[in-house]
Amino acid sequence: MQTMTRSGALAAVTAIGLMAAPVAGPARAETPADTLIQAWAIDDVISLDPAEVFEFTASEVLGNSYQGLVGYDVNDVSDIFGVIAESWEVSEDGKTFTFTIRPDLEFASGNPITAEDAVFTLQRAVKLDLSPAFILTQFGLTADNVDEMVRQTGDMTFELEMDQAYAPTLLLYCLTATVGFVVDKQLVMEHEEDGDFGYNWLKTNYAGSGEYTIRDWRANEVIVLERNENFSGEAPEMARVIYRHIPEAATQRLLLEQGDIDIARGLGAEEISALEGEEGIRIENGIKGSLYYLGLNQQNEYLAMPEVREAMKHLVDYGTIADTIMSGKVQVHQAFLPEGFLGAVNETPFELDVERARELLAEAGLADGFDVTMDTRNTPEITSMAQAIQQTMGEAGIRMELIPGDGQQTLTKYRARNHDIYIGRWGPDYQDPNTNAATFAYNPDNSDDAAEKPLAWRNAWEIPELSDRTVAASLERDTEARAATYEALQREVMETGPFVIMFQEIEVFGMRDDVEGYVIGPSFNDNSFVEVTKTR
């Protein structure tokens, strides 16, 4: 793999920084014709290792720099096709998939892609057992059995055996998640230390085969991708793609207007309105599968009360937030499956009702309210939403202290379930309804050292019966029956769960009008700039 030298990276970033200087007179700056520059809040990046990546920004970066065994058409997610896998077969009992790897594919390093790499990728992810490992372990794979269950059968073939016959497309959708992106075994193992499967190296480096290579990442500053000269398909037109960490919406707008960036990714409602119709700029958007929600930790004595959970669902001014702070960027949505998924429920039973909330708090013996904290990522929109929620919660006597932090800080605390309330954004890992059911309605082990730690676990919600029903839904082969099960699960979580689900995201881009070919996909790893061109 080629790597950018420290001096080379500094020179590239310095040149980018110079483009951010104010422009004298009416002339506009222009980004290089072969470079796409995006402004976004990238402080949620914790790792670049596909076995660990579980955040929005890094998922998008990996989606453009790695390849999975299979993929799907973002305009019709039911159309699943092979990427690194040329074909696959399913055994008669439905428990074993046999994959055949395409011939003549290479990693960016120049190493050939074989079945050995695919097997290593899956075994490695299960054995490392990091945040997204559950996407694979839900099929009965464990560190102890994965060498037997995922087995190479030839230079270009391997088998993946599951513990049960799951719904036919579930495994294939799971393999489209970042945890299934195939890594270069030879390169990764060259950097192994003390049996870590190259984890400490790959956390900040690259070993993929996608259209772009990851050349540099500096936390809360910049990510630089460069065209993969060994990519097996058609080479992208952009030689490099750069993410600049610019969380301030007003600054993004200024840089976009000046021509110093090509795309603004974090515009607020005010900036979107101001840019609409401006010469040289257009606004594009796409509905995402991601949801904004509050997670209520059941280890907190107040939040564990059913009446308090219900009261808090009546203390968010959903409509006003959607129409003002998040105008054009969200739609009110209160179920854990996003619109567009099999079995998604689009009912919105909750609205701001302070009187009803007060009644519920009084029933819980909390007529005078209580004190609680909420961990809040310090981006403008999350902060503004949190402040609006803080105000309406206060009307019923819930005194909420906001604890700001960057993406890494708040996520790390949340994953250790050391929060009271967390205001977050959750995106599906794959396009099957199990992706969200298995995190909002599944928690088979609520102990601190549980092997699986979905959102229900993070909020200490002990739900053995719901967990069993979620597993049953993943095994159901009748589509209508499966959809009905997910509908029932969503309604129960809405009514009783420790989640205040508020909005489904609409991703909005402010874009220079010479940029064409950017795909806004349903998931962030579906966002694609590999076909971007500039029409100058």
Task: State how far the Cα of 526 lies from the Cα of 523, in Å rounded to an integer.
Answer: 5
Tell me what pLDDT residue 335 has. 98
Report residue 205 as tokens.
């480096």
DSSP category for residue 178: G
Tell me what pLDDT residue 309 has. 98
| Nearest alpha carbon to residue 475 among 69, 212, 171, 244 | 171
DSSP category for residue 89: E
Task: Give burial (CB, 10 Å; 0-12/13-18/19+) of 260.
Answer: buried
101: Cα within 13 Å, side-chain hemisphere: 23
Tell me the DSSP string of 381-403: HHHHHHHHHHHHHHTTTEEEEEE
DSSP category for residue 363: H
Task: State how far the Cα of 47 lies from the Cα of 45, in Å rounded to an integer.
Answer: 6
Longest dimension (CA), the chain: 71
Q: If you compute the radius of gyration of the chain from its CA atoms, what whole number of angstroms results?
A: 23
The predicted-structure confidence for 499-510, as pLDDT tens digits, reads as follows: 999 999 999 999
Task: State how far the Cα of 45 lies from the Cα of 60, in Å rounded to an integer.
Answer: 11
User: E strands along 303-388, which residues?
Assistant: 330-332, 370-377
Q: Are 206 and 501 in contact (CB under 8 A)?
A: no
Cα separation values, 407 from 220, 262, 336, 413, 429, Å: 10, 24, 22, 10, 19
Amino acid in the structure at residue 429: D
Place of tokens 């402040």: 387
Q: What is the CATH number of domain 6-17+35-245?
A: 3.40.190.10
Task: Give burial (CB, 10 Å; 0-12/13-18/19+) of 18.
Answer: exposed
The predicted-structure confidence for 168-198, as pLDDT tens digits, reads as follows: 889 999 999 999 999 999 999 999 999 999 9
Task: State how far the Cα of 170 lies from the Cα of 420, in Å rounded to an integer.
Answer: 33
β partners of residue 425: 292
Tell me what pLDDT residue 412 has. 93
Tell me what pLDDT residue 29 has. 77
Tell me what pLDDT residue 5 has. 35
CATH 3.10.105.10 given to domain 288-507:
yes
Q: Are 222 and 233 in contact (CB under 8 A)?
A: no
Complete edge-to-edge strand list for the sheet that includes strand 96-101: 85-90, 96-101, 157-161, 150-154
Cα separation values, 228 from 3, 211, 231, 272, Å: 12, 5, 5, 34
Degrees, nearest 5: CA angle 260-265-269: 110
| Nearest alpha carbon to residue 424 among 439, 438, 434 | 439
Tell me what pLDDT residue 27 has. 52
Tell me the DSSP string of 278-308: -TTEEEEEEEEEEEEEEEE-TTSTTTTSHHH
Kindly give the parts of the chain with pLDDT less than 70.
1-28
Domain ranges of the chain: 6-17+35-245, 288-507
- Whether this prediction's pTM lies above 0.85 is answered by no
Helix (H, G, I), strand (E, B) or coil at 373: strand
| Nearest alpha carbon to residue 209 among 56, 50, 73 | 50
Helix (H, G, I), strand (E, B) or coil at 372: strand
Tell me what pLDDT residue 20 has. 41
| Nearest alpha carbon to residue 385 among 316, 295, 308 | 316
Cα separation values, 398 from 441, 473, 511, Å: 26, 37, 41
Q: Which H or E run contains 432?
A: none
β partners of residue 503: 292, 332
β partners of residue 47: none
Q: Which H or E run contains 176?
A: none
| Nearest alpha carbon to residue 265 among 292, 238, 289, 242 | 242
Write the CB contacts of 76 (distance below 8 Å, at least 6 apart in sequence): none
| Nearest alpha carbon to residue 249 among 273, 235, 219, 270 | 270
